[in-house]
Amino acid sequence: MKEEGFLVTAAADRDEARQRATRLGFDLGMTIQEIGYDSDVDEALRAGIEDVIGGDLVDEDYDDVVDVVIMWWRDEDGDLVDGLVDAIGPLTDHGVVWLLTPKPGRDGHIEAEDIADAAPTAGLQQTSTVSAGPNWQGTRLVAPRAKR
């Protein structure tokens, strides 16, 4: 009986992860590049994204254009502006960068002001910030309309 409860919980967790991925604007057939993968990422969110897009995330070595870049970034990962500049290289004209950072109070948290300063320097504009999971928040970054 215990196993059935586990399966129901796992299915509910998977559904919730798919819903989070859909709220981030991901859709079937999108090509999504992942930057900054490490052992602390939200594996449920990753699985939810792959379910929604119907395929695997592509890694940092992918050499074609992508619809979205998800960028796991922590304070110790280096210069955020440099990271964002690298992230926008493979984006399509209307592509989006989702900057995923640890929530306040978590190791590696990045202050909102630092993101607000880095985005325009990298040629991006912040449009929204959402909860991407228990430990991560997502900041949606796009090229300003004049550049699109």
What residues of the chain score a pLDDT lower than 50?
1-2, 6, 146-148
**Helices 43-53 and 2-23: angle between axes, nearest 10 degrees:** 70
Give the list of residues 6+ apart from residue 106 with CB closer than 8 angstroms, or none: 135
From residue 121, alpha-carbon distances to 22, 62, 80, 116, 117 in Å are 29, 25, 10, 9, 7
What is d(CA 7, CA 46) in angstroms, rounded to the nearest whole number?
19
* pLDDT given at position 148: 43
- Residues 57 and 42 sit within 8 Å (Cβ to Cβ): no
Q: What is the CATH number of domain 2-147?
A: 3.40.50.150
- Residues 90 and 68 sit within 8 Å (Cβ to Cβ): no
pTM for the full predicted model: 0.88
What is d(CA 73, CA 42) in angstroms, rounded to the nearest whole number?
12
- Quote the tokens at residue 95: 């592509």
* pLDDT given at position 146: 47
- Ranges of each domain in the chain: 2-147
